DNA sequence: CGTTAACTTGAATTTTGTCAATGCCTGTGG
DNA sequence: CCACAGGCATTGACAAAATTCAAGTTAACG
């Protein structure tokens, strides 16, 4: 496993531990590492393996998943270019990371990573923030899986990907989905058929349009937000917003 | 998480703040704080509030949840005595924490907590481990919600609580469930009726026995493990174990 | 004790999953 | 450049699981 080492534009400056002068960043730690290429479909690491490395994704998309004893798979996340992968583990990887597309990563020794971060008062809060972000994403996913309908899940997913791409400077309405329907289904806790039907339904309603199977355009962002189930009843209406009706639970 | 105080024979060093002689622990930071009592049903903090404090739970159980716009609730966890609550946030709380039973907590200023932990080479890894444990729990919950049947969810839940109680020195087969069926349902992504029916079914099959509604005894732990969906087909059989049939996914 | 909330149980309904057939890209080889 | 194979994806008919609705029952609390 673990694709081959390919030394690309080897670093110029910086002895030992990378330090892009101004303010050190977690990503900066990886900048002197060689680029490794992982072919779409192959694994970067496996659940239960010794967690010896952390990775910075330069290009491509990965899926991260756990498998139940009888083969059922749950994808717990997709990892994009710019993301750091492999920090939230103590000893062993909690899940398998597999390339969806061809991927380029920088690899860094985990123990060294921890040492360096631990030494640096500037990097420590960044690591903390990274962990908090991962946690926040996981929380949202739990809400989606526990309480949203199939339609809301698909809507939320498209919205989530759109926003993530937007963050990295892409057009938010041109969403590209390199993963298969099976990947999406295993991420949303549904079946391929259900995902497929709902994509079709959203298309028929004019909320999205399908360029091809892996590329959709969001045509009605407001509707998509409404369908995603996050908005309150009020904001969902044309110009509603009457009572502050935040539902409260009885106890 | 982290019930006991792990007295590592670690360094005696560490100047400046709070030092319960041997080795500082996260829990130790709270030991000088006054005890606050929260009545069952009332909130400790609310989603979106400024995350100004962290808490150490001394006694009782809390539920932690998020609410969708239309009132649907998803409980993302239950917090027990010994657990630390409120660390995995950057700025604002991501969820509401509400007492299930009457609860006793120690409160600590968040900014101070971060300062102290940040100063201490002994505490930093503990905080990191805490975050990793939270992450691991969240991952398991996502798998449960995405891919387990109602029966497996209830089985997993009982098992999870049993193991948690066991960790803090209780009898693993005498499980006590202070939360309501609605809480359990909102945690497992089910309805009260489904939870109720499955508890009944498990009782009829002799897997568990119900002392009263909030206290069950596990009578067949092996069966419960099997029903929880984690075990592979093989381990599940009486003396099966034929092929190493670990399902693999095609790519 | 009586009142109320929590829980259980049953029947009908809805949503999503399963099975099966068909359609549609993509990449390969003639 | 076209034909075709094979993997994905879509669609439809049917089945199963879980939810909803509607009574009842039990237990907790004043």
pLDDT digits (tens, 9 = 90+) for B19-28: 455 678 999 9
Binary contact (A189, B231; C-beta < 8 A): no
CA distance, residue B8 to nearest chain A CA (Å) = 17
DSSP secondary structure, A32-74, as one string: TSPEEEE-TT-EEE-TTSB--EEEEEEES-EEEEEE-TTS-EE
**Which phi and psi (to 5°) does residue B222 adopt?**
-60, -45
Closest CB to A247 among B66, B71, B128: B71
Identify whether the C-beta of residue A55 lies closer than 8 Å to the C-beta of residue A108.
Answer: yes
Question: What are the distances in angstroms from CA A5 to CA A43, A57, A62?
Answer: 15, 15, 18
For chain B, what is the mean pLDDT? Answer: 88
The pLDDT value recorded for residue A177 is 95
Q: What is the pLDDT of residues A44-74, one digit of tens each?
A: 999 999 999 999 999 999 999 999 999 999 9
| Nearest Cα to Cα of residue A33 among A46, A45, A17, A20 | A17
Q: Which residue is nearest to nucleotide C5 (CA to C1')?
A: A251
pLDDT digit of tens for each residue in chain B (251 aa)? 444 444 444 444 445 555 455 678 999 999 999 999 999 999 999 999 999 999 999 999 999 999 999 999 999 999 999 999 999 999 999 999 999 999 999 999 999 999 999 999 999 999 999 999 999 999 999 999 999 999 999 999 999 999 999 998 899 899 999 999 999 999 999 999 999 999 999 999 999 999 999 999 999 999 999 999 998 766 644 443 433 333 444 33
For the record, the structure tokens of A104 come out as 């380029």
Binary contact (B76, A134; C-beta < 8 A): no
Provide, as residue numbers in chain A, all residues whose Cβ is less than 8 Å from the Cβ of B187: 146
Q: How many residues does chain B have?
A: 251
The pLDDT value recorded for residue A216 is 95
- Which residues, given as ranges, of chain A have pLDDT below 70? 1-22, 233-251
Identify whether the C-beta of residue B227 lies closer than 8 Å to the C-beta of residue B151.
Answer: yes
Binary contact (B229, A68; C-beta < 8 A): yes
Crossing angle between the packed helical segments A123-147 and A110-119, to the nearest 10 degrees: 120
Chain D bases near protein Cβ (<7 Å): 8-13, 17-22, 27-28
CA dihedral over A112, A115, A119, A122, signed as positive or negative? positive
Provide, as residue numbers in chain B, all residues whose Cβ is less than 8 Å from the Cβ of A186: 146-147
Closest CB to A142 among B141, B148, B251: B141
Binary contact (A135, B139; C-beta < 8 A): no
| Nearest Cα to Cα of residue A85 among A122, A35, A131, A141 | A131
Decide: CB of A149 under 7 A of nucleic strand D.
Answer: no
Calculate what percentage of chain B has a pLDDT beyond 70: 84
Task: Point out the nucleotide closest to A213 (alpha carbon to C1′).
Answer: D9
Binary contact (A134, B134; C-beta < 8 A): no
Q: Which helix or strand (DSSP H or E) is residue A66 part of?
A: strand A62-67
User: For A148, which DSSP code?
Assistant: -
Binary contact (A249, B95; C-beta < 8 A): no
Find all residues with CB under 8 Å of B137, minimum gap 6, and list them.
B1, B77
Distance, CA of B132 to C1' of C2, in Å: 51
Distance, CA of B224 to C1' of D14, in Å: 32
The pLDDT value recorded for residue B232 is 75
Burial tier of B32 (Cβ tally within 10 Å: 0-12, 13-18, 19+): exposed
The pLDDT value recorded for residue A172 is 87
Region label for A33, one of left (φ > 0), alpha (ψ between -120 and 50) or beta (otherwise): beta
Q: Which residue in B has a C-alpha nearest to residue A120's C-alpha?
A: B118
Neighbour tally for A1: CB within 10 Å: 9
Distance, CA of B164 to C1' of C2, in Å: 39
Task: Point out the nucleotide closest to A148 (alpha carbon to C1′).
Answer: C15
Binary contact (A142, B138; C-beta < 8 A): yes
Decide: CB of A151 under 7 A of nucleic strand C.
Answer: yes
CA pair distance B72, B248, nearest whole angstrom: 36
Chain C bases near protein Cβ (<7 Å): 6-11, 15-20, 25-26
The pLDDT value recorded for residue B140 is 98
CA pair distance A165, A120, nearest whole angstrom: 30
Provide, as residue numbers in chain B, all residues whose Cβ is less than 8 Å from the Cβ of A134: 135
Q: Which helix or strand (DSSP H or E) is residue A28 part of?
A: helix A26-29
For the record, the structure tokens of A23 come out as 């303010």
Provide the Cα torsion A54, A60, A66, A70; round to 10°.
-140
Question: What are the distances in angstroms from CA B135 to CA A72, A170, B142?
Answer: 21, 29, 11
CA distance, residue A206 to nearest chain B CA (Å) = 24
Identify whether the C-beta of residue A47 lies closer than 8 Å to the C-beta of residue A96.
Answer: yes
Decide: CB of A214 under 7 A of nucleic strand D.
Answer: yes
Binary contact (A90, B132; C-beta < 8 A): yes
The pLDDT value recorded for residue A17 is 55
Do β-strands A215-218 and B62-67 pair in parallel, antiparallel, or remain unpaired?
unpaired
Identify whether the C-beta of residue A87 lies closer than 8 Å to the C-beta of residue A124.
Answer: no
Provide, as residue numbers in chain B, all residues whose Cβ is less than 8 Å from the Cβ of A247: 67, 70-71
Distance, CA of A213 to C1' of C25, in Å: 9
- DSSP alpha helices (H): ranges in chain B? 26-29, 110-119, 123-147, 150-167, 181-188, 192-204, 221-227, 233-236
CA pair distance B70, B35, nearest whole angstrom: 36
Crossing angle between the packed helical segments B123-147 and A181-188, to the nearest 10 degrees: 110
Distance, CA of B193 to C1' of C8, in Å: 8
Binary contact (B66, A143; C-beta < 8 A): yes
Find all residues with CB under 8 Å of A43, minimum gap 6, and list them.
A1, A96, A97, A98, A99
Distance, CA of B82 to C1' of C26, in Å: 57
pTM for the model? 0.88
| Nearest Cα to Cα of residue B140 among B45, B241, B230 | B230
- DSSP alpha helices (H): ranges in A120-149? 123-147
Find all residues with CB under 8 Å of B212, minimum gap 6, and list them.
none
Crossing angle between the packed helical segments B123-147 and A123-147, to the nearest 10 degrees: 20
Q: What is the pLDDT of residues B169-197, one digit of tens each?
A: 899 899 999 999 999 999 999 999 999 99
Sole residue written with tokens 């937000």: A225
């Amino acid at each position: 496993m673990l694709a081959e080492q390919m030394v690309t534009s080897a670093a110029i400056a910086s002895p030992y531990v990378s330090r892009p002068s101004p303010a050190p960043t977690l990503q900066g730690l990886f900048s002197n590492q060689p680029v490794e290429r992982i072919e779409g479909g192959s694994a970067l690491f496996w659940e239960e393996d010794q967690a010896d490395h952390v990775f910075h994704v330069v290009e491509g998309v990965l899926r991260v998943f756990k498998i139940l004893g009888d083969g059922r798979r749950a994808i717990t996340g997709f990892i994009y270019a710019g993301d750091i992968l492999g920090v939230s583990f103590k000893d062993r990887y909690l899940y398998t990371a597999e390339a969806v597309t061809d991927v380029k990563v920088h690899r860094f020794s985990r123990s060294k990573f921890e040492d360096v971060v631990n030494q640096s008062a500037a990097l420590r809060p960044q690591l903390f923030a990274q962990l908090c972000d991962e946690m926040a994403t996981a929380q949202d996913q739990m809400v989606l899986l526990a309480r949203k309908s199939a339609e809301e899940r698909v809507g939320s997913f498209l919205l989530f990907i759109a926003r993530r791409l937007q963050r990295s400077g892409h057009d938010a309405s041109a969403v590209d989905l390199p993963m298969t329907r099976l990947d999406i289904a295993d991420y949303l806790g549904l079946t391929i058929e259900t995902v497929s039907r709902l994509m079709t339904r959203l298309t028929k309603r004019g909320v999205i349009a399908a360029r091809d199977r892996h590329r959709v355009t969001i045509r009605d962002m407001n509707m998509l937000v409404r369908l995603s189930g996050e908005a309150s009843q009020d904001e969902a209406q044309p110009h509603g917003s009457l009572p502050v009706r935040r539902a409260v639970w009885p106890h």
